[in-house]
Amino acid sequence: MFALALSIGIFSYLIFFLGVIGILFEPIVVGVTFLYWAIFVFLQKNQLKIFIHSSRQTLKKLKSKTNMFSLVLVCLVIVQILINFIGVLGPELGFDALWYHLTLPKLFLQLHTVEHISGGLLYYSDMPKLAEMLYIPGIVFLQEIGPKLIHFSFGLLCCIGLYKLGRKFVNPLYSFVTVAIFYP
- Among the residue ranges 38-47, 53-62, 138-147, 155-164, the one predicted with the least confidence is 53-62
Predicted pLDDT at 121: 72
pLDDT band at 94 (very low <50, low <70, confident <90, very high): confident
Rounded to the nearest 10°, the torsion over CA 7, 9, 15, 17 is: -110
pLDDT band at 103 (very low <50, low <70, confident <90, very high): confident
Residue range 118-147: mean pLDDT, rounded? 83
What's the confidence (pLDDT) of residue 102? Answer: 83
Q: Give dist(CA 47, CA 116) in Å, integer.
A: 40
Domain boundaries, the chain: 2-182
Q: Is the pLDDT of residue 5 over 80?
A: yes
The pLDDT of residue 86: 92
Least-confidence region, from 3-7, 34-38, 114-118, 175-179 = 114-118
Q: Work out the average pLDDT over 56-85.
A: 80
In whole angstroms, what separates CA 75 from the centre of its chain?
23
What's the longest Cα–Cα distance across the chain? Answer: 62
Question: What does the pLDDT read at residue 70?
Answer: 79
Please list, in sequence order, all residues whose beta carbon lies within 8 angstroms of the beta carbon of residue 53, skipping any fewer than 6 positions away. none
What per-residue confidence (pLDDT) applies to 118?
Answer: 80
For range 159-182, the mean pLDDT? 89
